[in-house]
Amino acid sequence: MLRHDWTTDEILEIMQMPFMDLIYKAQTIHRANFNANELHLSSLLSIKTGSCPEDCKYCPQSAHYQTNQPSEKLLDKNTILEKAKLAKDAGATTFCMGAAWRNPKDSDMPFLVDVIKMVKALGLNACMTLGMLTESQAKMLKEAGLDYYNHNIDTSEEFYDHIISTRTFNDRLETLKVLRKCGIKICTGGIMGMGETVRDRASFLKTLANLDPHPESVPINLLVKIPGTPLAEVNDLDILEFIRVIATARIIMPKSYIRLSAGRTKISREAQTLAIMAGSNSIFLGCKLLTTQNVDNNDDLKLIKDLGLITTIKDNAKTPMQEQNEILGKIHDNKASSNDHKCIKLNDLLKE
Ligand code: SF4
């Protein structure tokens, strides 16, 4: 039975159980709800990069910090359409677009509506992350055909003020409520290793698990420390603590996709395997996650092959490497079975 009345203490108790018991429990629940050998592959396209007015202490796109992140203006419709077509040709079924905004302005809405319609006309699911939304804006996006919206709560309610001062935790929850009310599927999670306590991590998971219904997708990121941001020198989180968060998320949100997101460059392939074993069933493929470095595609494909995983091509928005294009292109051309769900043993292709 799905629960939405967790306490922080209950979640803390799960998160701190003996590691082997925790992984066993998470894996058991994972197997009861998903194919344990299946992995979703996703990727993201930044449609507007940098100069964000928000002050998220982890983010190279914030205008508050001096980083090496160049600012780019909003991509034009033709460029986005081109990328969406490329994504479709590569086997994508969902196209994710992110803009570094506090919120879209009402004057941006006609453009965003057109973009969603263009993407939908290609037969792709549309996903966006644009910051906070008003109800009328969310309705417009939904009516245009938007399927998913990403809006991370980032950390616990208690720790939130240490990370962001330009908006409140409640602002985040309000946008999530608006999304639900308008019938848009929710992708929301956070970043571990920002200096929070273990209790903060439990409290963060409590907020997600007490959303009713649970978010369809829960990205769990490990902080990527960017020079110039206030979190550039924070102490590293022990990877086993990170795995504990993933396993606990799987246990308390058994039917949600748990996305092993940013920070994989800091994790060994063995630790990534442990994260998948703990119930993470989605990774982002591609050289970049919006602006941060991601794992090399060849390393990802090798890990997928070595683990004998079945991949579900779901959200690929970019094909930054020729090899990925070729492999995903083969999936699209030869193996796709339905518009929503394209499964294939990547092993077979990699052996060719
Ligand atoms: S995380 Fe998003 S909202 Fe925060 S500064 Fe970066 S782009 Fe802006």
**Per-residue pLDDT reduced to its tens digit, 155-170:** 999 999 999 999 999 9
Q: Which neighbouring-strand residues pair with 52? A: 62
Coil, helix or strand at residue 274: helix
Q: Which of 47, 54, 155 to mutate to test the pocket of ligand 1 (most atoms within 8 A of CB)?
A: 54
- Can you list the alpha helix ranges (DSSP code H) found in the chain? 8-15, 19-33, 77-89, 109-121, 135-144, 160-163, 169-181, 198-209, 239-252, 269-277, 297-307, 322-330, 346-351
Q: Which of 48, 51, 52 to mutate to test the pocket of ligand 1 (most atoms within 8 A of CB)?
A: 52
297 domain residue, yes or no: yes
Element containing residue 223 per DSSP (H, E): none
Tokens 């970043």, located at residue: 191
Distance separating alpha carbons of residues 45 and 42, to the nearest angstrom: 10
The per-residue pLDDT for 90 is: 59
218 domain residue, yes or no: yes
Query: Residue 23 sits in which domain range?
Result: 8-351
- pLDDT band at 230, cuts 50/70/90? very high
Amino acid at 44: L
Beta strands in the chain (DSSP E): 38-42, 44-48, 94-99, 125-129, 148-150, 185-187, 190-192, 217-222, 257-260, 282-284, 288-289, 292-293, 310-315, 342-345
pTM score, whole prediction = 0.84
Task: Read off the CATH number of the domain in which 338 is found.
Answer: 3.20.20.70
Cβ atoms 236, 193 nearer than 8 A = yes
Question: Mean pLDDT for the chain?
Answer: 84
Number of domains the chain contains = 1
2 domain residue, yes or no: no
pLDDT at 148 over 80: yes
197 domain residue, yes or no: yes
Question: What are the tokens at 46?
Answer: 């930044």
pLDDT at 237 over 70: yes
